[in-house]
Amino acid sequence: MRRYGKNPDEDDIRVRPNPKGNRPRTHTRPKHEDAQDGMVLTVDRGRLTCLVDGRAVTAMKARELGRKAAVVGDRVSLVGDLSGEKDTLARIVRIGARTSVLRRTADDDDPFERVVVANADQLAIVTALADPEPRPRMIDRCLVAAYDGGLTPLLVLTKSDLASADKLLEAYTPLGVPYVVTSREELENGDAAGRVRELLNDRVTAFVGHSGVGKTTLVNALVPKDRRRTTGVVNAVTGRGRHTTTSALALPLPDGRGWVVDTPGVRSFGLHHVDPSRVINAFPDLQPGTENCPRGCTHDGQEPECALDAWVTEGHADPARLDSLRRLLSTRERREGD
Ligand SMILES: Nc1nc2c(ncn2[C@@H]2O[C@H](COP(=O)(O)OP(=O)(O)OP(=O)(O)O)[C@@H](O)[C@H]2O)c(=O)[nH]1
Ligand SMILES: [Zn+2]
């Protein structure tokens, strides 16, 4: 039996015969069974734009959800006015379980973690090959955040007209991270957009990269013209302009083939929240080797009793893989700019 609140009016409604046989309409707030599913496209000061049945609906989080924030990519249930018309406001009453979480903290000492994007399948790490110079430590940090959060990483190396990708790619060969090399010229007049799209099809891909790497040039080449982020944030569905660049923004790929989630340029990627055992799960060749590690082993090369050394010496895994894993796990102890 459906449960109504303590409100006596509601109890009254339950026993009232309903000749039309449909659910009683009352002045009380809609019941959650009526909720419709949607996806959060962007967030602006507590107002969330959600895609519901092809419409962009503005919503607020219901108070009953407490402190848990809904973020871009979240699958949510909404009630209230779902027309998407101007000046209407729906309520988010449920946030679905997340399949992945891209998290960051402001810096490594900051215990306050932010979920940047939920439910992304893939993390596209956008790095220029020059101007600005690539920052391998930053790439490593993004990789750790991806592995920790359950996203598959993808390297997008831009500005190939300025420098070669060979040297940078050497460092990522043992990790087997897929990559694509692009330039503005190839994106705008060549086949680069098609090559990148092939790696994005039917997935939700979060894009990260710091200012100046060519992320806007890239994203604009991927999503249809009327859906782009231009000056300020443009509502991905209605095209109406707005005034913030602080939130991520989900943009649809053509033909419903997935989503690009553009994130605001991040300068740092604090990794306070990272759990080494979650990162290890992304290394199925090394993971079984941790069985004999002492409890709470960080596997980062600083632990004398880490069992991974023996695992590799015994020939169970490639030493280059362990080196790469340790480079990633120790990235928290290093300063970011190095
Ligand atoms: N040489 C060269 N320049 C590029 C390329 N792609 C983008 N640029 C230039 O690099 C600068 C930054 O590009 P954006 O696409 O705005 O980069 P962004 O990462 O979005 O940077 P912000 O807008 O600052 O967040 C612009 O002047 C672009 O014209 C490229 O492939 N080659
Ligand atoms: Zn260990």
For residue range 255-308, what is the model confidence (pLDDT) as tens digits?
889 999 999 876 677 787 788 888 998 899 999 999 999 998 989 898 999 999
pLDDT at 8: 34
Of all protein residues, whose CA lies closest to atom 25 belonging to ligand 1?
211
* Residues composing the chain: 338
Find out whether the beta carbon of 132 lies less than 6 Å from any atom of ligand 1: no
| Spacing, Cα 268 to ligand 2 middle (Å) | 27
CATH 3.30.230.10 fits 36-97, yes or no: no
Coil, strand or helix at 188? helix
Could you give the CA distance from residue 148 to residue 282 in angstroms, rounded to a whole number? 8
Q: What is the DSSP letter of 209?
A: -
| Spacing, Cα 220 to ligand 1 middle (Å) | 11
Residue 211 has pLDDT above 70, yes or no: yes
Domain coordinates of the chain in residue numbers?
A: 36-97, 101-262, 276-332
Residue 128 has pLDDT above 90, yes or no: yes
Ligand-binding annotation for 245, yes or no, is no
Ligand nearest to the CA of 305: 2
Ligand-binding annotation for 161, yes or no, is yes
Beta strand pairing call for 75-80 and 36-44:
antiparallel
pLDDT tier for residue 333 given thresholds of 50, 70 and 90: low
Could you give the CA distance from residue 50 to residue 57 in angstroms, rounded to a whole number? 5
pLDDT at 31: 61
pLDDT at 335: 47
Could you give the CA distance from residue 274 to residue 280 in angstroms, rounded to a whole number? 11
Ligand 1 atom with the shortest distance to the CA of 265? 25
Neighbours of 43 (CB within 10 A): 22
Interface ipTM: 0.97
Superfamily assignment of 101-262 in CATH? P-loop containing nucleotide triphosphate hydrolases (3.40.50.300)
Percent of the chain exceeding pLDDT 70 equals 80
Percent of the chain exceeding pLDDT 90 equals 60
C-alpha dihedral (6, 10, 14, 18), degrees to nearest 10: -170
Summarize the confidence of residues 327-338 as an average pLDDT.
Answer: 67
276-332: what fold? Ribonucleotide Reductase Protein R1; domain 1 (1.10.40)
